[in-house]
Amino acid sequence: MKRQFDDVLLGSIELFCLAAELSSFTAAATAAGVTPAAVSRSVSRLEERLGVRLFVRTTRQIRLTDGGRVYFEQCRQALSQLTEAERQITGAQVQPSGPLRISAPTP
């Protein structure tokens, strides 16, 4: 299977979704533990890759464009599915299953 997404792209998508949810690059940066400039650069790389403007930026606020809103909904759903898949797999590993045999000496 040919890989279409690298780690940087997936990280950019996560930061984009966080910025869209919080309506702020600064709030997204704080939540993600990165700088606001890193969020801005990440979103800019994503916009360049897609050839679509995702946010309307002013000095005081950001808001999703129509294309950004569509992309956000799809990305949020995809990230939720990935999170759920990991939760199911790791949850299945935590719960023991099968027979339990205990061996102990008799008094």
Q: Where are the domains of the chain?
A: 7-83
Task: Name the pLDDT band for 94 (thresholds 50, 70, 90).
Answer: low
State the fold for domain 7-83. Arc Repressor Mutant, subunit A (1.10.10)
Q: What is the mean pLDDT of residues 3-27?
A: 89
CA 86 to CA 91: how far, in whole Å?
8
Q: What is the pLDDT of residue 105?
A: 85
pLDDT for 52-70, tens place per residue?
999 999 888 999 999 999 9
The tokens for 61 are 């606020």
Report yes or no: 65 and 55 within 8 Å, Cβ to Cβ.
yes
Residue that has been written with the tokens 């339990």 in this structure: 100
Please report which confidence band the pLDDT of residue 28 belongs to, taking 50, 70 and 90 as the band edges.
very high
For residue 5, is pLDDT > 80?
A: no
